Amino acid sequence: MTSISILGAGNVARGIATRAVAAGYDVQLLVRDESKGQALASDLNGTVTVSPLTGPATGDLVFIALPYSAIADALAGLGSLEGKIVVDASNPIKDDFSGVAVAPGTSGAETIAASVPGAAVVKAFNTIFAGNVAAGGEYQLDLFVAGDDAEAKAAVTAFGEATGFRVIDTGALAQSAVLEGLAWMHIQLQFSRGTEFQSAIVLLDKVA
């Protein structure tokens, strides 16, 4: 797989696209605001194209890098994603940051999966802050993934490893609820600990 599509042109999209371009992937940005997409494309040194959010998405992997509240409308206007591997990098957080926007016992990723019949949805990139994805740095970050389709998870794992992450398979797509809760806790800790969205969740296999 040599190409990806990203829905969005914000910080999450920038982080994923930065890593992808550095690893030699072609990137398609699907955006509502063409000027914002072109601005991001001009900042990236690679093969980057900008398309309307109506699609079609041409990449081997299709990343959702939009605020959760914008995803349903974006997918409805995008057209069929049948046969695609869809990577949900979002967190279902209310726009006013008062809490999560899904009912207990479910997840944003599962809600998205129900709206894209025929696509294989994998949860990934939601537990790493966008600035850390873009910056890279001296530490190898852990990329937690969840999904029901083994081949789709393998493809996302290959992308994650090619772009510099240690990939950790957390299990079925239902595990997304745990990953989204972990991400929400991590976001809240930025304010209580003053870490300014520069901290990272890393699994230490041994501490002694």
* High-pLDDT (> 90) share of the chain, %: 90
Sign of the C-alpha dihedral computed for residues 195, 196, 199 and 201 taken in this order: positive
Rounded distance between C-alpha atoms, residue 115 and residue 131, angstroms: 29
Rounded distance between C-alpha atoms, residue 171 and residue 151, angstroms: 13
Give the CA-trace dihedral at 171, 88, 61, 203, to 10 degrees.
-50
What are the pLDDT digits (tens) for 153-198? 999 999 999 999 999 999 999 999 999 999 999 999 999 999 999 9
Residue 139 has pLDDT above 90, yes or no: no
Identify whether the C-beta of residue 20 lies closer than 8 Å to the C-beta of residue 44. Answer: no
Closest by alpha carbon to 11, among 85, 89, 87? 89
Q: Rounded mean pLDDT of the chain?
A: 95
Beta strand ranges found along the chain (DSSP E): 3-7, 26-31, 48-52, 61-64, 85-88, 120-123, 142-147, 166-169
Residue 79 has pLDDT above 90, yes or no: no
Rounded distance between C-alpha atoms, residue 18 and residue 198, angstroms: 17
Rounded distance between C-alpha atoms, residue 141 and residue 161, angstroms: 10
* High-pLDDT (> 70) share of the chain, %: 100
Per-residue pLDDT band for 54 (boundaries 50, 70, 90) equals very high
Which pLDDT value is given to residue 99?
Answer: 86
Which pLDDT value is given to residue 136?
Answer: 77
